Amino acid sequence: MSRTMDVQRERLPGLIRSDYRQTAADTGLAQPSDAVLHALQEVPRHLFVQKAFQDSAYSNSPLPIGNGQTISQPFIVALMTDLLLLKPSDKVLEIGTGCGYQSAILSLLAKDVHSLEIVSDLYKLSTERLVGLGYENVHVRLGDGYYGWQEEAPFDAILVAATADSLPEPLLAQLAPGGRMVIPVRDAEGREILQLVTKDAEGQLQVKDTIGVRFVPLTGGH
């Protein structure tokens, strides 16, 4: 890695902790978990971005990955992962594989990750990258994430990396009792709000708004 990347990588945990403190009133999380921070330190983010942006790979900011898509800000990756309260035995559904970075983070914290990507170029690139880097418990499929992955349901956790206009009913149905979903949803004023959805043992849903975010829109046939 370049000296620039080394410096950014050393500073990144402190920047993420600062963002957690500033948003704690809305998220309920005052600091990142050790497990999530360790996962972010383990996954080589510079191998998931385009070469032109590698010197900024460990900045606490989103970066373009091509096809009009982005790799999320590390703080947002950490927060969304932490909100899922993952256990090593969990099966996770990810909507929007993108470059595969979030998939790799999830793979270190859960038993299996099933990820859907609707853009064929990104599907090919992320699949090759994840296989090449040895993330064997990530299973990527080309498809419309709105409808989930019914054959593998139910899921203990669902992470949606694209903004929906409302909570997708197929994903709610595929969330296991006791499960948690994080998803950005556009409100009536057009703001994008990261929501935490929990399903209790009886199948009842609770939805909590957290912070304002910005993601690409959830696309597809719906």
Which among 72, 103, 115, 126 is annotated as catalytic? 72
Clarify whether 72 is annotated catalytic.
yes
Between β-strands 138-142 and 205-212, what pairing exists: parallel, antiparallel or unpaired? unpaired
Q: Do the beta carbons of residue 118 and residue 145 sit within 8 Å?
A: yes
Q: Do the beta carbons of residue 91 and residue 106 sit within 8 Å?
A: no
Q: Do the beta carbons of residue 162 and residue 219 sit within 8 Å?
A: yes
Measured CA to CA, the distance from residue 46 to residue 43 in angstroms comes to 9
Measured CA to CA, the distance from residue 137 to residue 147 in angstroms comes to 22
Instruction: State CA 12 to chain mean position distance.
Output: 18
Measured CA to CA, the distance from residue 119 to residue 117 in angstroms comes to 6
Q: How far is CA 60 from CA 11, 107, 116, 193, 212, in A?
A: 9, 21, 25, 20, 16
Active site residues: 72
